[in-house]
Amino acid sequence: MEFGPHLLLAVLEGAVTAAVLSLTAAGLSLVFGVMRVVNIAHGEFFMLGAVLAWVLVQVFPGHPAVGFVVALIVAPLIVGSIAAVADLTILKRINYDPERTIVATIGLLYIIQQVTLMTYGPDARAVEAPFNQRLALPWVDWGEGGLQVYYPWGLSTTTYKIAVIGAAGALLCGIWAMMTRTRLGLVMRATQADREMAQAFGIPVERVYAMVFGLGAGLAALAAVLIVPIQQAHYLMGGDPLLLSFIVVIIGGLGSLPGTVLAAVFIGLSDGVISVFFSPTLAKIFATLLVGLVLVFRPQGLFGERPA
């Protein structure tokens, strides 16, 4: 494949990764920002979203779009409620102690993963996309007779992949608007800024915590529902998103939404480009190296605030 079309394909593939990653990482970042909880089970909430999407599509047969739309709404709600319940029954009981929450969420990770294995089974199952048309992409090149438009071999994407990128963008704008423009966002930011002061002002901090934990998990589930028609639902699929989300959140700055999104786009695109031109393993090595560099030279992340 020629260099130009090759690069465009790499960028398109990277953009899909970036879209899903930014949603997943935004959930992780939100939970850490507001609650100071490092949620190791985040990847399992992602997996649960994909698995529930498959289940819901089975419940609503007929046109694939029907089941998919139901899954898009219901799966994040179910996963969010599970997370909120987990917060109230587990994390609250251990007073959000940083070390103990890590251990508790590791436990949660295994519980969710193994229960899924015992019920849903070990197979990868496909969810049909609501629409999926192959789009051959044109390329402009300087040929013998001047500028020429042609369709390079293999350069294509699908309507669904474009839709995933668009949907992720819209959702991120929605989260941003919620955090900055609504009362709910104000309450969350107040809790993030100073928990005790927020409580003194009558903010029900415990309820905010449960909601934030549910929202974070719901975002991961939403990202998974979007990706599942491309990737299939499998009980072990939570590992990669967890790792990449942590990479993104560390680079972007824990708790910073713009930093998270920017880092997700950067990691997603570099993953796409490096994977296509070199190898996916090298892309992972590069991302991990970047985390190391950020931790050494700018421990608070690109957009994080230096602790006072």
- Note the residues at the interface with other proteins (CB under 8 A): 1, 6, 9-10, 13, 17, 64, 117, 121-124, 126, 128, 132, 134, 136, 153-154, 156, 158, 230-232, 234, 236-237, 240, 272, 275-276, 280-281
CB-nearer residue toward other proteins: 103 or 285: 285
Min dist. Cβ of residue 106 to other proteins (A): 19
What's phi and psi for 167, nearest 5 deg? Answer: -65, -40
Min dist. Cβ of residue 117 to other proteins (A): 6
> In 190-211, which positions are buried (b, 16+ CB within 10 angstroms) versus exposed (e)?
bbbeebeebeeeebebeebbbb
CB atoms near residue 95 (< 10 Å): 8
DSSP secondary structure string for all residues of 168-188: HHHHHHHHHHHHHHSHHHHHH
Residues 252, 256, 258, 260, CA torsion sign: positive
Min dist. Cβ of residue 119 to other proteins (A): 13
CB-nearer residue toward other proteins: 94 or 236: 236
Both tokens of residue 156? Answer: 């294509």
Min dist. Cβ of residue 157 to other proteins (A): 8
Min dist. Cβ of residue 121 to other proteins (A): 8
CB-nearer residue toward other proteins: 1 or 111: 1
CB-nearer residue toward other proteins: 28 or 129: 129
Count CA atoms closer than 13 A to 273's CA, side-chain side. Answer: 13
Strand, coil or helix: what is 6?
helix
CB-nearer residue toward other proteins: 112 or 205: 112
Q: Is 300 exposed, middle or buried (0-12, 13-18, 19+ CB in 10 A)?
A: middle
Residues near 40 by beta carbon (within 8 Å), at least 6 away in sequence: 102, 105, 106, 108, 109, 242
Question: What is the rounded distance in angstroms from the CA atom of residue 51 to the CA atom of residue 16?
Answer: 20
Min dist. Cβ of residue 169 to other proteins (A): 20
What's phi and psi for 112, nearest 5 deg? Answer: -65, -45
Min dist. Cβ of residue 125 to other proteins (A): 9
CB 45 within 8 A of CB 239: no
